């Protein structure tokens, strides 16, 4: 309970601070049960927990309003499965976790997607006692975009993926699939690297960053309604002008040892955190 209170207080302070920075809608996180804090604190997460200071999983997931009885899809967890290591154990008793990841059947086995998707499946197998029975859907837009039965899940989450979908030209396919599978009133939760306000998504293409206002417009045109924004994953130290884009920063550190101390001092990227609702009608 103390951990929950401390984290909730910290999140509230962060959100309130954001009121002075933006005219966007800001909402305070809802309270989650202690099971979420327990899932995050699980020692089996190992080195993944080192990223918590940048990614604020408790504050982020409570902001989205997650409940242990929910059916939740995570889009493209990749091979790292960072959020999957929290979501799967949290949902395994009463809810359902669905990983919509890269296609691994009938594809080039030398491709990035196959290798990453296969690593994720191996991770599921090796952590079955911890994560439970995770459902996996192959999701490879624009060819494979079915996430499940229409109006069947409570929440769809995506973490730092939308820049790639925009770059490759199928963000509309992804958003349409998410809209279809969500129940009316269901939540689309987005965390995305945030670019400068004075640059468009086209200008930011290839950098990993997106313009927040423009992205909100794209998602709302797909049928969603913006419910709230949060500054919980903001990072004012991020200058957003790095030679290798967002991947210059940790954890990737694409320049390796070159100016490493500088980029480690910045930390992970400045990120927008957006909560959308699928309207009831």
Average pLDDT on 87-107 reads 95
For the chain, the average pLDDT equals: 90
Token digits of residue 186: 């269901």
Question: Residue 46 — very low, low, confident or very high, per pLDDT cuts 50/70/90?
Answer: very high
Query: Is 4's pLDDT higher than 50?
Result: no
- CATH fold for the domain made of 2-277: Rossmann fold (3.40.50)
Over the stretch 203-231, which tens digit does the pLDDT of each residue have? 999 999 999 999 999 999 999 999 999 99
Question: Residue 33 — very low, low, confident or very high, per pLDDT cuts 50/70/90?
Answer: confident
CB under 8 Å to 232, separation ≥6 — which residues? 11, 14, 15, 29, 56, 59, 60, 63, 273
Amino acid 183: pLDDT: 98
Over the stretch 113-135, which tens digit does the pLDDT of each residue have? 999 999 999 999 999 999 999 99
Average pLDDT on 184-203 reads 98
Query: Is 29's pLDDT higher than 80?
Result: no
Amino acid 268: pLDDT: 98
Amino acid 16: pLDDT: 37
* Pairing label, strands 271-277, 182-193: antiparallel
Nearest Cα neighbor of 101 from 80, 128, 125 is: 80
Task: For the chain, give the percent of residues with pLDDT over 90.
Answer: 86
Comparing 165 with 106, the larger pLDDT belongs to: 165
Over the stretch 148-186, which tens digit does the pLDDT of each residue have? 999 999 999 999 999 999 999 999 999 999 999 999 999
Amino acid 12: pLDDT: 39
Point out the least confidently predicted range of 18-27, 31-40, 234-243, 245-254: 18-27
Note the pTM of the prediction, 2 decimals.
Answer: 0.88
Helices (H), 20-104: 34-41, 52-55, 57-64, 84-91
Query: Is 10's pLDDT higher than 60?
Result: no
Contact predicate 97/74, CB 8 Å: yes
Phi, psi of 247 (to 5 degrees): -75, -5
Question: Residue 21 — very low, low, confident or very high, per pLDDT cuts 50/70/90?
Answer: very low
Q: Where are the domains of the chain?
A: 2-277
Contact predicate 232/19, CB 8 Å: no
Instruction: Give the rounded distance of the alpha carbon of 259 from its chain centre.
Output: 28
Task: For the chain, give the percent of residues with pLDDT over 70.
Answer: 89
Question: Residue 281 — very low, low, confident or very high, per pLDDT cuts 50/70/90?
Answer: confident
Amino acid 275: pLDDT: 98
């Amino acid at each position: 309970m103390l951990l929950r209170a401390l984290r909730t207080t910290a999140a509230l302070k962060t959100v309130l601070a954001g009121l002075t920075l933006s005219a966007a809608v800001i909402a305070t996180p809802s309270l989650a049960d202690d099971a979420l804090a327990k899932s995050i604190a699980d020692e089996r997460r190992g080195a993944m927990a080192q990223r918590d200071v940048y990614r604020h999983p408790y504050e982020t997931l409570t902001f989205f309003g997650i409940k242990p009885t929910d059916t939740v899809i995570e889009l493209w967890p990749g091979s790292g499965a960072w959020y999957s290591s929290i979501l799967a154990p949290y949902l395994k008793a009463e809810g359902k976790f669905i990983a919509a990841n890269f296609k691994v059947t009938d594809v080039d086995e030398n491709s990035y997607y196959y290798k990453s998707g296969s690593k994720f499946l191996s991770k599921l197998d090796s952590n079955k006692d911890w994560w439970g029975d995770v459902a996996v859907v192959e999701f490879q837009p624009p060819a494979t975009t079915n996430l499940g039965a229409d109006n069947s899940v409570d929440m769809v989450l995506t973490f730092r993926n939308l820049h790639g979908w925009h770059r490759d030209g199928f963000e509309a396919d992804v958003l349409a699939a998410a809209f279809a599978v969500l129940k009316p009133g269901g939540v689309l939760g987005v965390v995305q690297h945030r670019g400068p306000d004075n640059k468009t998504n086209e200008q930011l293409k290839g950098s990993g960053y997106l313009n927040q206002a423009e992205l909100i417009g794209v998602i709302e045109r797909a049928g969603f309604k913006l419910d709230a924004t949060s500054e919980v994953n903001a990072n004012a130290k991020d200058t957003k002008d790095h030679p290798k884009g967002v991947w210059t920063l940790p954890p990737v550190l694409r320049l390796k040892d070159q100016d490493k101390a500088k980029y480690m001092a910045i930390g992970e990227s400045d990120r927008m955190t957006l909560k959308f609702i699928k309207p009831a009608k």
